[in-house]
Amino acid sequence: MIAPVAGGAMLYDASRCDQPDERVFDRDAWRARGGLEETAGGRGTVAFLRDGEHRWVLRHYRRGGLVARLLDDTYLYTGAARTRSFREFRLLRQLREWQLPVPRPVAARYRRSGPLYRADLVTEELPTRRTLAQSLAAAPLAASTWRAVGACIASLHARGVHHADLNAHNLLIGTDGTVYVLDFDRGRVRARGDWERAVLERLHRSLAKVSAGLPAGHFGERDWTELRAVAEAA
């Protein structure tokens, strides 16, 4: 459902968010009632929200790279449906309907300021916060874990789901071995093609980067071969 807010709009799941209330995006309001836990995560910070049975994650959209120095957290407004937050909310909703291991969207918002806008997204917290990068730093991973990561990627690609920035920090490893995927900003569903190989190459570069300096044996080509063989079998 969509509700108007000052300068923009809020898209929300009425089964998860009882009523359209902008305070769900207000970190100060959550902090005041003791329901905020912040942690570094990607660009800026990710906030973990606590309210009774609710376990949510709030992310404010920020730019990366050199352009961040100029525009920081602002984007050119070209219509509500094309805002970062609304697009990711709707993509996650579709992926959940396909029973893919991604967060369930709760609410999305954009607020305009002239031709620019800022955006936020709230999702349900996944069962784990442990990233693939953190797991790899702690100890070498079993071949079964690498195959599970490959199977997760294969399940996305089988549906034509293009993750725009798949890396070792937005893959999570559950205690039961389940692999989850975060951060579908700029993601989309498209016809299958060569982009799948580019996604894997991006992940390979990320794994090489995070494993540089780790003890020998934490990541090697044998691990990558296990992952890739399953990922490319979709």
How crowded is residue 197: how many other Cβ atoms within 10 Å of its Cβ? 12
Q: In sequence order, what DSSP letters do the residues of 22-77 get, joined into one string? A: GGGG-HHHHHHTT-EEEEE-SSSEEEEEEETTEEEEEEE----STTHHHHTT-EE-
Our answer to whether residue 165 is catalytic in this structure is yes
SS3 helix, strand, coil % of the chain, rounded to 5? Answer: 35, 25, 40
Task: Return the H-helix or E-strand segment holding 206.
Answer: helix 195-211
Distance in Å from the first CA to the final CA of the chain = 34
CA angle 64, 68, 72 (to 5 degrees): 110
Which residues 6+ apart lie within 8 Å of 18 measured at CB?
A: none
Which segments of the chain are extended strands (E)? 2-5, 8-12, 36-40, 45-51, 54-60, 75-76, 105-113, 116-124, 161-162, 171-173, 179-181, 188-189
**Gyration radius from the chain CA atoms:** 18
Catalytic member of 120, 165, 194, 223: 165
Q: Where in the sequence numbering do the catalytic residues fall? A: 165
